[in-house]
Amino acid sequence: MPDYRVKISETVDDELEHHHYLITAKDEKEAKKSALKFMEHFIDDDDEPETIENGYSFYNKAVMVRLESIKETTKEQFKDFLLKIHTIDMT
């Protein structure tokens, strides 16, 4: 089964943060379904998140979690991607 890189945005008080995850699924449709199921429980304290386009809102829209993108990848490419975005190159 192929791997997919999933980009999720989380907005809290107008501050945007991105999260990246790897999902193994039979196709992109299944990867999206898995990502949305994961996102439904993104905030543990809110048992009833509101469904919004491509995501959920928590705490009466104080926190918005959205699926930004899904891209087919490999585990090695995903590791390289994470290393790149989390490395400070001062040269």
Helices (H), 3-91: 28-40, 75-85
What's the pLDDT score for residue 14?
87
Pick the CATH number of 3-85 from 3.10.20, 3.30.70, 1.10.10, 3.30.1560: 3.10.20
Whether residue 49 contacts residue 40, with contact meaning beta carbons closer than 8 Å, is answered with yes
What's the pLDDT score for residue 23?
97
What's the pLDDT score for residue 35?
96
Consecutive 10-residue averages of pLDDT for the chain (91 residues): 97 94 97 95 88 93 94 97 89 76
What's the pLDDT score for residue 51?
95
